[in-house]
Amino acid sequence: MPLKRSFSNALAAWLMASPLAIVLALFLVLPIAMIVVVSFWGATEFSIYPAFKLDNYEFLLRSSVTYSVFLKTFMFTVISWALCLAIGFTVAYFLAFHIRTQTWQIVLFLVCTVPFLTSNIIRMISWVPFLGRNGIANQTLMSMGIIDEPLEWLLFSDFAVVLAFVHLYTLFMVVPIFNTMMRIDKSLLEAARDAGATGYQTLTNVILPLTKPGIMIGSIFVVTLVMGDFITVRFMSGSQSANVGRLISNDVALLRYPSAAATSVVLLITVLIVIGIMLRFVNIRKEL
């Protein structure tokens, strides 16, 4: 009897897990396995053929372009992440601790999401006329007498790329941080105050450790989005900078799928390593 029950329990468990397992297998594992397989294939100018060759990786790892492009990708990622974190944390802090009624918290939070009602590309492109040589930014600065010549580096530069990233992805930082901050028991803050902690001490000793999971979730969003991006870099740098995404998109455009797949695999591994390191600092599961 106990044996039979444990068997039916096990069966039920398998059955309950299988829908998710099947969905994941079909839409996550299978495509990634496919990309890994194709990355070993060979390519002619307009066809790809099954093979097991290391040429794609060899070319990738030997080319100096790869290293400079990965370096650039990391640079964009680190700068965008730091700025998103600083702004996102500030905004979430303000919403969570300075706005007193829940109604206003919700209203202001929704205001933050308003730009997201338009498409990603449109939000990005609208910077172009603003930052241009004869754009609003330059004209304003010149009419205020702050500069004599238009600032060239405002548009089609790394500055523009980072600006667009921060603009596009800060909300992904605000949401999880705001969420964890709202769960912080207010009596903890009172206790800190009663124990004589200054505002800064409360922030660093109470709030910051308790919002770590939110920060980490937001960071994972920002890091993966920035590392996988190609269109923002293309538009905002005027095609003058390259990141890994653009390398892949160039390969796809030239029908070099195996080479694109190899680059994707390397990028995937890199991103996984980065996230693995980040997760060493915070145990998200435990804290959720």
Partner 1 sequence: MNETPKSNFVSRRSLLKGTAAVAGAAIGSGVVTGFPTIWAQNIKDVTLRQFGTGVSNLNDVAVKVKEDLGFTLEMTALDSDSVTQRAATQPKSFDIADIEYWICKKVWPTGNLQAMDTSKIKNFDKIAPIFTTGKLTPESTVAQGTAPSTVGFVDGKGGTAFAKEVTGWMTLIPTIYNADTLGIRPDLIGRPIDTWAELLNPEFKGKASILDISSIGIMDMAMVCEAMGEIKYADKGNMTREEIDKTIAIFTEAKKNGQFRAFWKSFDESVNLMASGEVVIQSMWSPAITAVKAKGIECVYQPLKEGYRSWGGGIGLSANLSGLELEAAYEYINWYLSGWVGGYLMRQGYYSAVPETSKEFMSENEWGYWYEGKPATGDITSPTGDKLAAAGDVRDGGSYEARMGAVACWNAVMDENQYMVGKWNEFIAA
Nearest approach, Cβ of residue 240 and partner 1 (Å): 6
Place of tokens 């897990």: 17
Choose the binding region for partner 1 from 88-96, 102-110, 203-211, 233-241 (rule: CB under 8 A). 233-241
Measured from the CB of residue 151, what is the shortest distance to partner 1 in angstroms? Answer: 11
Q: Does the footprint of partner 1 cover residue 51 (CB under 8 A)?
A: no
Question: Does 47 interact with partner 1 (rule: CB under 8 A)?
Answer: yes
Q: Helix, strand or coil for residue 37?
A: helix
The distance of closest approach from Cβ of residue 46 to partner 1 in the complex, given in angstroms and rounded to an integer, is 4
> Which residues neighbour 260 within 8 Å (Cβ) at sequence distance 6 or greater?
248, 251, 252
Q: Applying CB under 8 A, does 266 fall inside the site for partner 1? A: no
Q: Which of 39, 41, 56, 72 touches partner 1 (CB under 8 A)?
A: 72
Q: Is 233 a residue that touches partner 1 (CB under 8 A)? A: no
Cβ atoms of 170 and 88 within 8 Å: the answer is yes
Among 6, 9, 18, 63, binds partner 1 (CB under 8 A): 63
Q: Return the ∠ at Cα 91 (arms to 88 and 94), rounded to 5°.
A: 145
46 or 200: CB nearest partner 1:
46
Residue 138 near partner 1 by CB under 8 A: no
In angstroms, the Cα distances linking 245 to 91, 237, 263 are: 30, 14, 9
Residue 173 dihedral angles phi and psi, to the nearest 5°: -85, -40
HEC string of 120-166 equals: HHHHHHCHHHHHCCCCHHHHHHHHCCCCCCCCHHHCCCHHHHHHHHH
Does the protein bind partner 1 through residue 69 (CB under 8 A)? yes
Segment interacting with partner 1, rule: CB under 8 A, options 60-68, 106-114, 162-170, 214-222: 60-68
Asked if 128 is part of the footprint of partner 1 (rule: CB under 8 A), the reply reads: yes
Query: Is residue 136 within the footprint of partner 1 (CB under 8 A)?
Result: no
Residue in this structure with the two tokens 């124990």, named with its chain if needed: 195
Q: Which of 234, 261, 267, 271 binds partner 1 (CB under 8 A)?
A: 234
Q: Which is nearer to partner 1, 47 or 103 (CB)?
A: 47
Residue tagged 């999401």 (tokens) = 113
CA gap 211, 179 in Å, rounded = 9
Asked if 70 contacts 270 with a C-beta cutoff of 8 angstroms, the reply is yes
129 binds partner 1 (CB under 8 A): yes
Interface with partner 1 by CB under 8 A: which residues? 45-47, 63-65, 68-69, 72, 128-129, 132-134, 152, 155-156, 234, 237-242, 246-247, 250, 253-255
